[in-house]
Chain A
Amino acid sequence: MRHRGIKKTEEGIFKGLMILATLTIVISLFMIVVAIVKRGLPAMSWDMVSKIPSGGFYLGKEGGLLNAIVGSVYIVVGSVTLGLCFSLPIVLYLNLYLSEKSQLAQITRLSFDVLFGIPSIVYGAFGFTLMVYLGLRSSLLAGILTVAILIIPILIRSIDEVMRRVPKEMKDAALSLGATKSEIIKPMLKQVVPGIITAVLLSVGRGIGDAASVLFTAGYTDSIPTSLSQPVATLPLAIFFQLSSPIAEVQDRAYAAALILTFIVLLLSISARIFSRKFSKNKI
């Protein structure tokens, strides 16, 4: 009987610890959201999302953040597309053509683990060097390239994780029908669609919210770029510049920008989930 009592206490302690951890994080995240909403909402207006800054916007005059919203979306869409163009072939090569124990595969996976952990300012500096070397000015293109390099490790590691879990029997089943390795790519991709969507979401979250990588490379402008070679504004930098202003009204606008950023990420998450459900109905 005593033994059962100890077990019960043990169970209670561990459950308590789990609840404590969950609550701590949920509450702190909630507080961040509350702070953003509390300071950002009063500064929010239709102008904020529909107009570009007019003269004196950063001194509290009229205008909006449309330039930064559009810029962030451009950057993130461009870099995720570019990132997928590189990550998918790499992951497929790792999983279809290299064995788990192959040295090349191990080295590749290890290097992407390391790249995963490098701070984004380093990518920013690297992007800047690359930009100077290629003779580019700070531009949408340079921003997309840098953010793409930043998110490729995220895309690769998370897609690779799900691709490795594709049942061997499924590959064997397709192969035994006489499929070549490149012909089993289609069923494999179908199987990992939810994983790819999660990976894209993670990288969108990282890419859209990252200030350091676009600081040197994308530049900042009050207008919406019409070509890849023009500089582009981004929401994280809009937040950064406005927060450093001494004017309280402008600071509040930084919170409004943060609110918009959070909302975009939320919108993307929800739509991704809906998409994921639609495309994964065939998953085995």
Chain B
Amino acid sequence: MIPNFLRVEKYTDSYMEKLHIEREAVSENGNSLFLKHKPHLSVRNLNVHLTANHILKNVNLDIPDKAITCIIGPSGCGKTTLLKTFNRLLQNSPDVKIDGEVLVDGENVHDRNANIEDIRKKMGLLSQRPCPLPMSIFDNIAYGPRIHGIRRKSTLKIIVEKYLTEVGLWDEVKDRLKSPATSLSIGQQQRLCLARGLAVKPEILLGDEATSALDPISSKKIEELFLKLKDQYSIVLVTHTLRQAKRIADYVIFMYLGEVIEAGSASEVLNNPQQKLTQEYLGGNFS
């Protein structure tokens, strides 16, 4: 038996280089992987440097429309960083250098002239731990519509009810909309955050390990919501749990050390991985 940490050592630079060439050959007829769904979000030659570290290395991806795409890979492989480049949250950190393009509906997110608020509005973000705003349940949902100019109370009420119902929270909270959002359980808070994101009418939902802080029942509810919502939204989930990817993913992207190793439909990548690294990861030889 070779200990896990030694196994990883086997992937030398030359091996990675070889992988690269093979991947390029695959991506020649690139979008064949995503025949069923047209791409909604495309990443082209994306490189991210944080101080001296090369975090994302020449990433090329297509995120299919109206489907669930799971990004899997070991800790520190750049999954979250990749997700943050989608809605430009990464630029809030100093010392970050981003090259390449992230295209949404043909518009480059990282273009200097792009309207950052409009881009972010298109993408709802669900973070690892639920992060309600320091306001009441009602105001949490109404915050987004309010900043986008909806002021009328009756309209806001309709919006709040609609999205709380959508995430299955309305019946639980309809009698205490004025209570602080923090009075909810952590699972309810995450659904509240999802409803808050939906209330600004995004096209894409980004989940950064959105269920990892939740209990199994709450996670299951969130997963069910994703399955329900995928007809209307393109959903991108970073996940640590392979089982979750198996349960809900339509497409899977496997990343390792800042590179995309393999991408394709869930059945292809999870059941019949082509790359050795993917096989090893799925086999549980490193994590």
Contacts and interface: CB of A to CB of B under 8 A. Distances in A.
A284 B144 contact: no
A4 interface: no
A284 B133 contact: yes
A165 interface: no
A178 B121 contact: yes
Given A177-B147, A187-B143, A284-B131, A172 B89 contact: yes
Given A172-B127, A282-B182, A178 B148 contact: yes
B127 A174 contact: no
A191 B180 CA distance: 12
B196 interface: yes
Interface string A98-127: 011110000000000000000000000000
B134 A174 contact: no
B182 A173 contact: no
Contacts of A175: 89, 92, 120
Question: What size tier do the contact residues of chain A reach?
Answer: 20 to 34
Interface in B79-95: 87, 89, 92, 94-95
B124 A176 contact: yes
A218 B229 CA distance: 66
Contacts, number: 88
A24 interface: no
Contacts of A167: 131
Contacts of A180: 117, 147
Nearest to B128: A169
A102 B94 CA distance: 9
A173 B193 contact: yes
A170 interface: yes
B134 A176 contact: no
A178 B94 contact: no
Contact of A284 (B87, B124, B134): B134
A101 B117 contact: no
A170 B147 CA distance: 16
A164 interface: no
A175 B123 CA distance: 11
B117 A179 contact: yes
Interface in B212-267: none
A173 B131 contact: yes
B24 interface: no
Q: List the 7 shortest-distance A-B pairs measured between CB atoms, nearest first.
A: A178-B121, A176-B125, A177-B144, A99-B94, A169-B131, A282-B180, A190-B134
13 contacts: A167-B131, A172-B125, A173-B132, A173-B196, A174-B133, A175-B120, A178-B120, A178-B147, A179-B143, A179-B144, A179-B147, A187-B133, A281-B180
Interface of A: 99-102, 167-180, 183, 187, 190-191, 281-284
